[in-house]
Structure 1
Amino acid sequence: MFTIISYDIIDDRRRTKVMKYLKGWGTRVQYSVFECDLDARAFTNVLRELRNLIDPNTDSVRCYRLDEASVRRIQIVGIGVVSRDPTHYFV
């Protein structure tokens, strides 16, 4: 399912760890925002790891799960496109 993950993390070291972790799961579309395509199992794993990486007393991570109809309604003002996994890979 298309998932938007945004974060507000005050500590540089923790913020860098979260950013590097999320790069393995999706596309960075803004400084602290990633678009990911995660099934239920992957989403559970990502949430578990994010809980381990942040300080819940000072940091915030938000995850928005969007169905296909919601993804089609995304509006982008300015540059950028909604990131989607390619349907084919060339090896």
Structure 2
Amino acid sequence: MFILISYDIRHDKRRSRIAKTLKNFGTRVQYSVFECNLTAIQLSEVRSQLSAIIVPNEDSIRFYSLPKDAVTAIVILGHGVVTQDPIFYWTD
């Protein structure tokens, strides 16, 4: 599933930890926005890891799940491309 994750983190140290964690799951497309192609298990894992970092009454992380037809309708003004699933080939 295609997930857009945005965050607003009050303190620099936590913000850096959030960004570092998200780099393991997706592609940074803006300073505080990541596009991620995740399985349900990966989504659960990233939410768990991020929950352990934030201070709930100070920080905010938003997860936007986009249906496939919405992903194909994304328009980008300026430079950049929509994150896509990597293509893997299995050979023997």
Shorter-chain TM-score range: over 0.9
Number of equivalences: 89
Q: Which residue of 1 aligns with 2:67?
A: 67
SS of the equivalent of 2:52 reads helix
Structure 2: any 5+ residue segments left out of the alignment?
A: none
Residue pairs, 1:15-26, within 5 angstroms: 15-26=15-26
TM-score for the superposition, normalised by structure 1: 0.92
**Separation (CA, whole Å) in 2 of partners of 1:34 and 1:68:** 17
Q: What corresponds to 1:44 in structure 2?
A: 44
CA distance in 1, matches of 2:86, 2:39: 16
Look up the equivalent residue of 1:47 and give its one-letter code: R
Q: Deviations over 1:60-91 (max 9, x none)?
A: 000001111010111111111101122137xx
- TM-score, normalized by length of structure 2? 0.91
User: Quick one: distance in 1 between partners of 2:85 and 2:27?
Assistant: 9
Give the unaligned 5+ runs of structure 1. none
Q: In structure 1, what residue type is equivalent to 2:80?
A: G
- Runs of 4+ off more than 4 Å: none
Which residue in the other structure is 1:56 paired with? 56
